[in-house]
Amino acid sequence: MKLNEVALKAPAKMIERKRGATRGHNTADEKAFLDGIGTYGMHAHLSRREYVEKYMQTIPMRVKWGNIDKQEVLEHCKELLLKGGSKW
Residue 4 lies inside a defined structural domain of this protein: no
Residue 17 lies inside a defined structural domain of this protein: no
- Residues 65 and 85: their CA atoms lie apart, in Å, by 28
Residue 2 lies inside a defined structural domain of this protein: no
Confidence class for position 24, pLDDT limits 50, 70, 90: confident
Higher pLDDT among residues 56 and 8, named by residue:
56
Residues 7-15, mean pLDDT to the nearest whole number:
47
Residue 7 lies inside a defined structural domain of this protein: no
Could you tell me if 59 and 70 are in contact, meaning their C-beta atoms sit under 8 angstroms apart?
yes
Which structural domain, as residue segments, surrounds residue 74? 24-84
Q: Name the nearest CA neighbour of 36 among 62, 55, 17, 58.
A: 55
Q: Name the nearest CA neighbour of 41 among 3, 81, 83.
A: 3
Number of domains in the chain: 1
